[in-house]
Amino acid sequence: MRTKEGNKRQAITEAAIREFAERGFHQAKISRIADNAGVATGSVYLYFRNKENLLQEIFIKLWQEISSDLQGLVNRTDLNSLEKLEGMIDLVVDKFIDNSPLALVFVNEQHHLSRQDDNVISPYYDKFLELGNNLLTNGISEGLVNPNINTDIARHFIFGGVRHLIHLWAQDSRRYPLNKIRQEVKLLIKKGILK
């Protein structure tokens, strides 16, 4: 069944996410994306220059949404920095909990885009990490976060760990349920691993 005109871009993007998740960027084919989106192959090129441009758009949209949601969370005055940091974990987990193909694309293909000279997702990704760094710095000021930590290393450690755990969940959701990951990451942030 062919896709209606107004839904083509979204249908192509969703089909591309499934194709990239299943086959990886390098093995993905525009013709399969078009078939799964219910459009002609030529229609894909009306919306996207090439496969690379399609992948870039997926990541730009993802990081814009996550960064915007995090900015809204950071601006809240009814939460302390630790609660906001927990909310940051929730934002990332909630983005993928109902979309394991997007999670697979996120963990498997971001590195591909980040190696490019014209890394179009870097500003969005950097904004997200900067907001996380600010939460840690504010947490130190509020007396909630250990003042001896290097916030730059801590933010990369936390986010890298969450990213890897999302990858494990996308591969084996029974062994690594996302809500359990969410709980454990929050516990580690709040309590550490020492008794």
The Cα 65–Cα 182 span in angstroms is 19
pLDDT band at 170; cut points 50, 70, 90: confident
> What's this model's pTM, rounded to 2 decimal places?
0.84
Output the average pLDDT for the chain.
90
Q: Which residues contact 103 (CB under 8 A, 6 or more apart)?
A: 96, 166, 167, 169, 170
CB-based contact 13:58 (threshold 8 Å): yes
Which of 13, 3, 95 is CA-nearest to residue 57?
A: 13
Q: Domain map of the chain by residue range?
A: 1-48, 52-191
Calpha distance 73→179 (Å, rounded): 20
1, pLDDT greater than 60? no
Task: Provide the CATH number for the domain formed by 1-48 in this structure.
Answer: 1.10.10.60
> What is the C-alpha to C-alpha distance for residues 163 and 106, in angstroms, rounded to an integer?
8
Domain spanning 52-191, CATH class: mainly alpha
The pLDDT confidence band at residue 2, using thresholds 50, 70 and 90, is low
What is the band of 111 on the pLDDT scale with cuts at 50, 70, 90? confident
Q: Are 185 and 89 in contact (CB under 8 A)?
A: yes
pLDDT in tens, 76-109: 999 999 999 999 999 999 999 888 899 999 988 8
